[in-house]
Amino acid sequence: MELRLIAVAGLFLAPLRGQAQDIRTALEPIPQIAVSAQHEVKVSPDRATIQISVQTRAVTAAAAASQNATKLQSVLAALRALGLTNDQLSTMNYNIHPDYVHREGREPTVTGYNVTNTILADIRQLSQVGPVIDAALSQGANMMTSLQFYASNTEAARRTALAGAIAKARADAEAAARAAGGSLGQLLDITVGAQFPRPPQPMFQLQARMAARADTPIQPGQESLIVTVSTRWRFNPAR
């Protein structure tokens, strides 16, 4: 009777030992290689934005504002004549501030008021950038800031950059695996970082012109689109 009990206990213990071994195997960390990589693709801009400002000064705020409104209406009319629609022209900033004279021992005295009205022009044909600048200047605009070129559709370039980043990550992981004396296994995890474009650095030249004017030269350059990925791969050690 005692012998039979020992035999039965052995039958139960054998599967339990196998299960414990399986659990230990499952809990063992998987050898991994973690690699990050990025890839850059050049994109040609096809659009531009530019901030155009009219600044006026007068003795009173009302007079400065009235002069500003008259000049800005002329600027807007000139831009619309070039084909820009109302949804391409928006107000960015409107500012009124006084000018002071400071004399020793006296309270500051207001000598006049400055009014600045800034609009944003969204230009959808790069060939219009120069004419827009020239038209605005001819009608009273006296400040140009924040000329930015951008590509309106970057999906194909983004996917190309993504494929390039993953290929670089795989190549680096394979090199690391070989250097460690093993081989690269399957991809375990991949995280795609946010794309971030580097705006082009345009060559932009403005000159005061009188009777005979030359067109404003604009060279948009190229925009850089960069995608970053983080990957984890299984590492197969040499046996």
Band (98; pLDDT cuts 50, 70, 90): very high
Does some domain include residue 14?
no
DSSP assignment string, the chain: -HHHHHHHHHHHHHHHHHHHHHHHHHHSPPPEEEEEEEEEEEE---EEEEEEEEEEEESSHHHHHHHHHHHHHHHHHHHHHTT--GGGEEEEEEEEEEEEE--TTS--EEEEEEEEEEEEEEESSGGGHHHHHHHHHHTT--EEEEEEEE-S--HHHHHHHHHHHHHHHHHHHHHHHHHTTEEEEEEEEEEEPPPEEEPP--EE------SS-PPPPEE---EEEEEEEEEEEEEEE--
- Domain match, 171 and 132 both: no
Band (207; pLDDT cuts 50, 70, 90): very low
Band (179; pLDDT cuts 50, 70, 90): very high
Alpha-carbon distance 206 to 217, whole Å?
8
Q: What is the pLDDT averaged over residues 162-180?
A: 96
Does some domain include residue 11?
no
Using the predicted structure, report yes or no on whether residue 137 has a pLDDT greater than 90: yes
Out of 150, 169, 202, pick the residue that ends a domain: 150
Phi/psi of residue 78, nearest 5 degrees: -65, -40
Higher-pLDDT residue of 56 and 146 is 56
Does some domain include residue 18?
no
CATH of the domain at 39: 3.30.110.170
Q: Which two tokens stand for residue 186?
A: 């399957």
pLDDT in tens, 2-61: 434 334 444 444 555 555 555 555 567 889 999 999 999 999 899 999 999 999 999 999
Bridge partners for 52 per DSSP: 119, 144
pLDDT of residue 17: 56
Most confident of 142-156, 179-193, 209-223: 179-193
Using the predicted structure, report yes or no on whether residue 189 has a pLDDT greater than 70: yes
- Domain match, 76 and 101 both: yes
Bridge partners for 51 per DSSP: 120, 145
Q: Provide the domain count of the chain.
A: 2
Please tell me the total number of residues recorded for the chain in this structure. 239
What is the rounded average pLDDT for all residues in the chain? Answer: 84
Alpha-carbon distance 189 to 66, whole Å?
63
Owning domain of residue 72 = 47-150
Band (154; pLDDT cuts 50, 70, 90): confident
pLDDT of residue 197: 62
- Domain match, 124 and 164 both: no
Alpha-carbon distance 130 to 161, whole Å?
32
pLDDT of residue 224: 86
Using the predicted structure, report yes or no on whether residue 63 has a pLDDT greater than 80: yes
C-alpha dihedral (124, 127, 128, 133), degrees to nearest 10: 120
Does some domain include residue 7?
no
- Domain match, 67 and 99 both: yes
Cα distance from N-terminal residue to C-terminal residue, the chain: 48
- Domain match, 156 and 123 both: no
Does some domain include residue 2?
no
Bridge partners for 54 per DSSP: 117
The alpha carbon of residue 213 and the mean position of all alpha carbons in its chain are separated, in whole angstroms, by 35
Does some domain include residue 184?
yes
Place of tokens 């290929």: 167
Out of 121, 150, 179, pick the residue that ends a domain: 150
The alpha carbon of residue 196 and the mean position of all alpha carbons in its chain are separated, in whole angstroms, by 4
How many CA within 13 A on the CB side of residue 119?
A: 25
Band (102; pLDDT cuts 50, 70, 90): confident
